[in-house]
Amino acid sequence: MLAPFRAPAHAYGPGHRGVDLAGTAGQAVLAARGGTVVFAGPVGGRPVVSVALDDGLRTSYVPVLPAVRAGTVVAAGAVLGALQPGHTGCAVPCLHWGLRRDRTDYLDPLVLLRPARVRLLPVPDPWPG
Residue 115 pLDDT greater than 80, yes or no? no
Domains in the chain, CATH or no CATH each: 20-111 (2.70.70.10)
- CB-count exposure of residue 61 (10 Å: 0-12, 13-18, 19+): buried
Interval 62-66 mean pLDDT: 97
The answer to whether residue 118 scores a pLDDT higher than 80 is no
Is the separation of the CB atoms in 63 and 47 below 8 Å? yes
Q: Which residues face 43 on adjacent strands?
A: 46
Residue-wise pLDDT for 33-61, tens only, equals 999 999 999 999 999 999 999 999 999 99
Give percent above pLDDT 70 in the chain: 98
Rounded to an integer, the average pLDDT of 60-83 is 98
* pLDDT at 84 exceeding the cut of 80: yes
pLDDT by residue (tens digit) across 99-111?
A: 999 888 899 999 8
pTM for the model stands at 0.84
Rounded Cα gap, residues 33 and 74, in angstroms:
8
Q: Who's near 37: CB < 8 A, 6+ residues apart?
A: 49, 50, 51, 52, 68, 69, 70, 71, 72, 73, 74, 80
